[in-house]
Amino acid sequence: MLYHLLAPLGDRYILFNLFRYITFRAAGAMVTSLILAFALGPVVIRWLRALRFGQIVREEGPQSHLAKAGTPTMGGVLILLSCIIATLLWADVSDPYTIIAVGALVWMGALGFLDDYLKVIRRRTEGLVGRYKLIGQGMIGAIIGAYLLFFNHAPVPATWTTLPFLADYHLEIWKIVFIPWVMFILAGTSNAVNLTDGLDGLAAGLTAIAAASFAVFAYLIGRVDTSAYLGLFYLPGAGDLAIFCVSLAGAALGFLWYNAHPAEVFMGDTGSLALGGAIGAVAMMLKIEFLLAFVGGVFVLEALSVMLQVSYFKYTARRFGRGQRLFLMAPLHHHFEKAGWAESKIIVRFWILGILFSLLAFSTMKIR
């Protein structure tokens, strides 16, 4: 909004030229989302308490979590509000990339809100049935995939994607599987972040790291010079995704102020599904889907731990008549809790891993 209102004034007043620079607007967006999250936090927490949207804790989980029962959940609305307002204020709202990113965030947030509502209000422990959740995630993936395929504005085909470490090669996805590919990326990332959201501040901190990393990639890919130098696809308009990403990072950090251990509020599926979906959509639009495995390395490990746990349990149940476990408990952060690690230690160490994974992702730009 500010870009459309104030940037044109730059021809008459040099000060307003600042609004033409993505770096300036990105800084403004991050500060705005951070301040909004700080300011709206107490209001949202009081609102959730008044509505009695309290967290339901599984009895089979770590015993230390039983004390968290009743803590306000659905706090993801705080992240969504802060990110969306900051993005609309500072980004080019006519840019298709921005519209798609905000749309994915809102859609996944609404899906997560429905899941939380069924858990908290209807007292359905499992929340939204898994297949219905996948259908909802698949629908937004299909919409985004179809748009990118049939209304491609990029100078390269929609089905092309970059490969880590390889500057002179790219992967071309068959058109017939492109939309299912987008559906898989969005659903997989969304569910991976959802699985990671099990400790105070864990998912929020890792999301801030991932979003900030993708902001850098978006800025570089949106510039002719840097994208050519690094062997990345040049995507005009992608630079505004950097504004969305830093808004998301700022909102996550602001939420972390209230979500840090011991948490005053949980993001719930409202936040975790939305954050994962937004990150997946950004990676898809920037054509760096494979870098998700690097930037979101901790999310990948968390999701893999669940898949391995379930697969091994079913295999041993068939083979030996009794299911056995690879981990003390899945996802992975609960395994370390069961092993006796303090919750705060797990959170900080996983954040450190998240930073290291992001640095590894950046290293792929030079090792090409």
* 3-class secondary-structure state, position 166: strand
- Report the C-alpha gap between 291 and 293 in whole angstroms: 5
- Report the C-alpha gap between 274 and 133 in whole angstroms: 12
- Report the C-alpha gap between 229 and 180 in whole angstroms: 32
- Report the C-alpha gap between 226 and 29 in whole angstroms: 23
Residue 125 is predicted with a pLDDT of 58
Residue 351 is predicted with a pLDDT of 97
Q: Where are the domains of the chain?
A: 18-289
Q: How many CA atoms lie within 13 A of 2 on its CB side?
A: 21
Give 137's contacts (C-beta < 8 A, 6+ positions apart): 108, 111, 183, 186, 187, 190, 191, 273, 277
- Report the C-alpha gap between 87 and 28 in whole angstroms: 10
* 3-class secondary-structure state, position 342: coil
What are φ and ψ of residue 166, in 5° steps?
A: -120, 110
Residue 9 is predicted with a pLDDT of 67
Residue 360 is predicted with a pLDDT of 94
- Report the C-alpha gap between 333 and 343 in whole angstroms: 9
- Report the C-alpha gap between 41 and 55 in whole angstroms: 17
Residue 111 is predicted with a pLDDT of 94
Closest by CA position to 82, among listed 39, 111, 42, 25: 39
* 3-class secondary-structure state, position 246: helix
Residue 38 is predicted with a pLDDT of 94
Residue 2 is predicted with a pLDDT of 77
- Report the C-alpha gap between 97 and 240 in whole angstroms: 8
The total of other beta-carbon atoms located within 10 Å of residue 18's CB is 15
Q: How does pLDDT run along the chain (368 residues), one tens digit per residue?
A: 776 676 666 667 777 678 788 999 999 999 999 999 999 999 999 998 888 776 666 655 565 555 566 688 889 999 999 999 999 999 988 899 999 999 999 999 999 999 888 877 766 656 677 788 899 999 999 999 999 999 988 888 899 999 888 877 889 999 999 999 999 999 999 999 999 998 999 999 999 999 999 999 999 999 998 988 888 899 998 999 999 999 999 999 999 999 998 889 999 999 999 999 999 999 999 999 999 999 999 999 999 999 999 999 998 988 888 888 899 998 999 999 999 899 999 999 999 999 999 999 999 887 76
What are φ and ψ of residue 32, in 5° steps?
A: -65, -50
pTM: 0.93
The total of other beta-carbon atoms located within 10 Å of residue 318's CB is 9
Q: Is the dihedral of CA 179, 288, 108, 240 positive or negative?
A: negative
Encoded amino acid at 261, one letter: H
